[in-house]
Amino acid sequence: MSHEGRYVVELVAILDDNTKNVEGYRRMLEASREELEYRFFHRPEDVVRFVKNNPVAVLVSELEMPHMSGKELFDIVGMASPSTVRIGMAQADDIAKTLEIFNQAWMYRLILKPFFLPEDLVGPIQEGLVRYRALQEGKKRKKGMEDKLEELSRRMAEVSAELARKKRRHVGIYNVALGIVKGNLSPETSGLGPEAGSDMEGLCEGLLEDFMRCYMYENYGFQYYAQIIQEKFHHPESGCILQVKNKTGHTIPEELMPKIAFGMFLGGLLCQNLFVSYRVAMLVEQEGRNCLLRIFCQYPEHGKVYRTADVKARRMVVNMVKEIAREVSTHMVLGTKNREFAMKLYFGKEEERHERNHHGPL
């Protein structure tokens, strides 16, 4: 198989304490020696030593041996080289006993002996190689996600240093964002597949970008943020419609504008990451001493509604947005009705933050 522009010959180790059997395996596998590198062994301890020091893709071993059983060998190899695919060989004399060993051992396939055709051995080895390559690809994807997580963490650490100097009053929001990136992008904790994991990566990067836009740079007025939000989330040609209005009748206070702007970005990201198409209205109103951001979202009843079918991924998106919105606002109210949902975020000087969830009339 190819690997980073090079052709890598994959290693296959074969063990049988019977010398005559090993010679028969050599003849059966002669035709495929150009594609694979075979190593033949008579003693289990030699195989263990070889696997520990070489990237063995597939190990084929006799199960019934005098000094170490195939099960014991596979247990050792499984700990020394988890990626190595184990295939057992056993006589068909006692099927019940053989199946018991198969169920107890860390084994991918079982070959019943005797067999006389090359494909009886080559076929299981090829299947084992397919399994090995899938495991290697999974490890590569996991490593890629871990590298991206490390890079995001590094960037967040740089942002942290700048925020400590410029925006100390917003450290609570930053900590929530950092916790979300670390907690939800980790392959070990997210449990998401590659596609959903990639979508979650994009969402976290979007949150970070919008957070920096609202809090790291100098403050701007409502129209500036409204224009950016329209550019990001308003795409009528794709069925994604978003409107933003300031209905307070006055200029929004400078100290509240970054929070309100980030609240609008949160609403846009939520809709964009959940739905294929949507119709969203964002209204900033005055309610007593508070500024109120109302977000209404309608989504279609028919056709493909959600961007991902992964319910866990969708729930994670909602929880992430709720967690940050709770930190940004002084009070939050959520509501759902048919194919609509609404979010109300209050912004003021109150220190106490509340959250109420309504599942009924908006």
CATH number, domain containing residue 326:
3.30.565.10
- The verdict on 286 and 297 lying in the same domain is yes
Last residue of a domain, one of 172, 189, 215: 215
Q: 122 lies in a domain?
A: no
- The verdict on 312 and 258 lying in the same domain is yes
Q: What is the pLDDT of residue 277?
A: 95
Q: 22 lies in a domain?
A: yes
What are the DSSP E strand ranges found in the chain?
A: 2-3, 6-7, 10-15, 36-41, 56-62, 85-91, 109-113, 240-246, 278-287, 290-298, 331-337, 340-347, 354-359
Average of per-residue pLDDT across 258-274: 90
Pairing of strands 56-62, 85-91: parallel
- The verdict on 185 and 261 lying in the same domain is no
Average of per-residue pLDDT across 332-356: 74
- The verdict on 57 and 6 lying in the same domain is yes
Question: Mean pLDDT: which of 204-218, 291-305, 311-325 is highest?
Answer: 291-305
Average of per-residue pLDDT across 48-71: 91
- The verdict on 342 and 242 lying in the same domain is yes
- The verdict on 202 and 155 lying in the same domain is yes
314: pLDDT strictly greater than 90: no
Question: From CA 351, how far away is CA 362, in angstroms rounded?
Answer: 26
Q: What is the pLDDT of residue 322?
A: 86
Phi-psi label, residue 115: left if phi above 0, alpha if psi -120 to 50, beta otherwise: beta
Q: 109 lies in a domain?
A: yes
For all residues of the chain together, what is the average pLDDT? 81
- Which structural domain range is residue 189 located in? 143-215
What is the domain count for the chain?
3
Which is more confident, 78 or 359?
78
Phi, psi dihedrals of residue 64, rounded to the nearest 5°:
-100, 100
What global pTM score does this model have? Answer: 0.47
pLDDT band for position 350 (50/70/90)?
Answer: very low
Residue 354 identity (one-letter amino acid): H
Phi, psi dihedrals of residue 347, rounded to the nearest 5°:
-130, 125
94: pLDDT strictly greater than 70: no
Beta bridge partners of 203: none
Last residue of a domain, one of 192, 215, 238: 215
Last residue of a domain, one of 185, 215, 245: 215
Percent of the chain with pLDDT over 90: 39
Radius of gyration of the chain (CA): 30
- The verdict on 10 and 112 lying in the same domain is yes
Percent of the chain with pLDDT over 70: 77
Give rounded-to-5 percent helix, strand, coil for the chain: 50, 25, 25
CATH number, domain containing residue 49:
3.40.50.2300
Reduced to 3 states, what is the DSSP secondary structure of residue 89?
Answer: strand
